[in-house]
Amino acid sequence: MTERRILDLAMSVLEDMKAIDVLAIDVRELTSISDHMIFCTGTSNRHARSIIDRTVEKMKEISMPILGIEGYESGQWILIDLGDAIVHVMLSDVREFYKLEDLWSIGSDFSISEN
């Protein structure tokens, strides 16, 4: 499984599920935990959970193991670890408060942005 295929599939799911302000950042030069951090906003707790559910479903279709999911119960900030990519689905107030994409963008030369 190539990292690009995982990234492309995750981005496709986010687009299909109407995630808002999708941003993928290449973090290979910043950390060893993952190659990409993907951030997006869900419109509600239910929407955020649906995005994660669909991501899990699509990754299972290509036999991609899910390494972990955190925050599913609250639905305010859900993280799914795909190994080569970590997807953060947040509600807008949570995303604005933590501004994680600003943290991970520091020193990064490459990012993919989709709205």
Per-residue model confidence as pLDDT tens digits over 15-31: 999 999 999 999 988 88
Question: If you average pLDDT over every residue of the chain, what do you get?
Answer: 90
Angle between the 45-61 and 3-16 helix axes, to the nearest 10 degrees? 140
Spatial distance between the Cα atoms of 37 and 51, rounded to a whole number of angstroms: 16
**Backbone phi, then psi, for 80, in 5-degree steps?**
-125, 125
Contact 88, 39 (CB under 8 A): yes
Per-residue model confidence as pLDDT tens digits over 77-98: 999 999 999 999 999 999 999 9
Return the biggest CA–CA distance within the chain: 35
CATH topology of domain 3-114: Beta Polymerase; domain 2 (3.30.460)
Per-residue model confidence as pLDDT tens digits over 63-81: 999 999 999 999 999 999 9
Per-residue model confidence as pLDDT tens digits over 42-60: 999 999 999 999 999 999 9
Spatial distance between the Cα atoms of 32 and 45, rounded to a whole number of angstroms: 30
> Which pTM was predicted?
0.87
From residue 17, alpha-carbon distances to 13, 24, 30, 43 in Å are 6, 16, 29, 11
